[in-house]
């Protein structure tokens, strides 16, 4: 089968790899859609120990193509999405629906197990979630990034009527915007440098989008609510953005860090002390949040399809990775396979 793979730092390629075979408790999915994630871009840029020919891709959905032994509750043809990992299922972390901290966790698409930039992918049946008929396959592949935003919002003290800032209008920032609105924030101001993303953030419900080099996002919130932002979501993950988030949040406010900064950073602790700022870091999601996202897509609570700005085939993945190094108007790029 054709698959987009990591070759070396800053290089992707499309090659032929063997079709996967479903092991005990596993299924093989015929991939319908797989999103390109910022984590994928970072992984290729920095290498992070991935061996050459790693099949990448972890935001996906598809239909069950074959079943291994000891798989119950699923049948060939079921359309599903999947948590992009295999966990032990019995440790304390797994039992509390926090499998991202399982000591035996193996992730798909980042070097441990093959991912879904491919025609087929093997998954644990324990990681699957069925998609309702009214949730498209493209939307199904958005469940993973939407759940990242939901996890961050669930880590926050957000309440109806609050004003918040979302730093960054990339896919995770947009997912956070969607959920902040869904959870009742009365003002969600998005801070974004790229002018091409302003319209998209507004379509997804932003109260305002400001360029932080020209305007103060906190003042934009104050203009709407009369108060500085009670919560700031840092969804950029570059040096200095955490300090900027601390600077704009209200006294007794909260900063939730969802962006993944890959270098050392520093903050001014006195700023946190004087305002008694609470800082929380959020990693990934839970199975429960995957299901909440699917339910919200199905019942119309959220609509994330405007996030999809590009649909490409697997042969175009290497070139798209190069394109995505440059800031632009793209949000979620979807790799689509015939289905």
> What integer is the mean pLDDT of 250-278?
94
Q: What is the pLDDT of residue 281?
A: 97
Q: Which two tokens stand for residue 88?
A: 């032990």
The whole model's pTM is what? 0.95
Q: What is the pLDDT of residue 325?
A: 86
CB atoms within 10 A of CB 264: 6
Report the distance separating Cα 110 and Cα 183, nearest Å.
32
| Chain centroid, CA 215 distance in Å | 27
In 3D space, the residue among 241, 189, 239, 194 whose CA is nearest the CA of residue 217 turns out to be 189
Q: Which two tokens stand for residue 27?
A: 């299924």
Query: For the segment 127-151, what is each residue's pLDDT rounded down to a tens digit?
Result: 999 999 999 999 999 999 999 999 9
> What integer is the mean pLDDT of 111-133?
97
Asked whether residue 309 carries a pLDDT value surpassing 80, the answer given is yes
Instruction: Name the residue ranges covered by the structural domains of the chain.
Output: 2-142+304-336, 147-281
| Chain centroid, CA 268 distance in Å | 29
What is the CATH number that goes with domain 2-142+304-336? 3.90.180.10
CATH classification number, 147-281, choose in 3.30.1490.190, 3.40.50.720, 3.40.50.1360, 1.10.150.120: 3.40.50.720
CB atoms within 10 A of CB 101: 14
Query: For the segment 202-245, what is each residue's pLDDT rounded down to a tens digit?
Result: 999 999 999 999 999 999 999 999 999 999 999 999 999 999 99
């Amino acid at each position: 089968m054709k698959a987009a793979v990591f070759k070396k730092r800053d290089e992707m390629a499309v090659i032929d790899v063997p079709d996967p075979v479903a092991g005990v408790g596993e299924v093989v999915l015929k991939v319908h859609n797989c999103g390109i994630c910022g984590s994928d871009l970072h992984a290729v840029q920095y290498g992070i120990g991935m061996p050459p020919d790693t099949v990448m891709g972890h935001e996906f959905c598809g239909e069950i193509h074959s079943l291994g032994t000891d798989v119950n509750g699923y049948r060939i043809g079921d359309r599903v999405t999947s948590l992009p990992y295999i966990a032990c299922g019995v440790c304390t972390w797994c039992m509390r629906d926090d499998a991202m901290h399982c000591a035996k966790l193996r992730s798909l698409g980042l070097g441990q197990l093959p991912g879904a930039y491919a025609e087929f992918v093997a998954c644990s049946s324990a990681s699957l979630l069925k998609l309702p008929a009214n949730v498209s396959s493209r939307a199904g592949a958005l469940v993973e990034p939407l759940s990242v935003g939901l996890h961050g919002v669930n880590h926050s003290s957000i309440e109806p009527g609050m004003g918040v800032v979302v730093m960054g209008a990339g896919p995770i920032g947009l997912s956070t915007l969607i959920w902040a609105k869904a959870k009742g924030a009365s003002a969600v101001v998005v801070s974004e440098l790229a002018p091409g993303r302003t319209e998209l953030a507004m379509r997804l419900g932003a109260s305002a989008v400001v360029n932080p080099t020209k305007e103060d996002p906190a003042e934009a919130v104050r203009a709407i609510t009369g108060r500085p932002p009670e919560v700031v979501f840092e969804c950029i993950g570059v040096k200095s953005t955490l300090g900027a988030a601390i600077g704009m949040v209200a006294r007794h406010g909260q900063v939730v860090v969802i962006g993944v900064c890959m270098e050392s950073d520093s903050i001014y602790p006195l700023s946190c002390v004087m305002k008694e700022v609470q800082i929380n870091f959020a990693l990934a999601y839970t199975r429960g949040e995957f299901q909440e996202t699917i339910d919200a897509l199905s019942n119309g609570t959220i609509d994330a399809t405007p996030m999809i700005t590009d649909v490409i085939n697997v042969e175009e993945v290497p070139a798209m990775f190069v394109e995505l190094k440059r800031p632009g108007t793209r949000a979620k790029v979807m790799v689509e396979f015939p289905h």
